[in-house]
Amino acid sequence: MVLANPGQLAELGFITCEFFKIGTSPILSVLLDEVADVPISISAASQSGNQTTYTYTTTSPYTPVVGDYFTITGMADAGNNGTFIVNTTGAGIFTVTNPNGVTHSGQSGSGTNFESLAGYIAAATGLPPQDAPLLYGLTLTPTTLYANRYYFAQSIGTQVPPHGVSCRSMQVRIDYGSTDTVQNELLTMTVFGKHWQEP
């Protein structure tokens, strides 16, 4: 979706989504200012200090570049999973800051440029904050809806954007999970933010 015209930026705070409360609560991921994802398959991780180097292959014509965000899943060692910023790249490898990484070969993980917004979960409900927080706080939920509020200002690689993120366009991926045997439905989606106009 296009959020801002040339000469403008959209500063995003959060997205609210309402789903029927059937099955598990969906996870939202976003891809900012890109037209294509760079899906990768990861075969190994090597740890040196607080840096993890991933060995990967891709069928995409694009490869990871410094400054990219990658969300890594499916690694045998949980410390190798997460969302990270690429620090350096090489032929078939990239390195991120990850103090929890573990050296492990023979992996079958995957990576994507889509960034998960599932990092902020209320401990009492196991869900994202429910909209509106003034009604539900962090301990209550609606009876028939997942009224999820997905914040952009989340810690990624120990960095927290102070006011969310800025971009001109965004792709949104909704993951209903692979274990649900029931159908869920998105009822509403609202992007909350503001525009900045160049002088």
Q: Half-sphere exposure (CA, 13 Å, Cβ side) for 194?
A: 4
CA distances from 103 to 41, 65, 71, 96 (A): 17, 22, 18, 13
| pLDDT mean by block of 10 residues, the chain; 199 residues | 92 93 89 86 94 91 86 90 90 93 88 83 88 91 94 62 77 84 88 89
- Left if phi > 0, otherwise alpha if psi is -120 to 50, otherwise beta: which for 96? beta
What pLDDT score was predicted for residue 98? Answer: 92
Residue 84 corresponds to which tokens in the numbers above? 């990270």
Please give the pLDDT value at position 178: 73
Q: Whole-prediction pTM value?
A: 0.77
Amino acid at 26: P
Report pLDDT for 71: 87
pLDDT value at position 162?
Answer: 52
Residue of 102, 90, 91, 98 whose CA lies nearest to 70 = 98
* Coil vs helix vs strand at 136: helix
The full set of domains in the chain, from first to last, is 8-34+116-197 (no CATH), 40-113 (2.40.30.20)
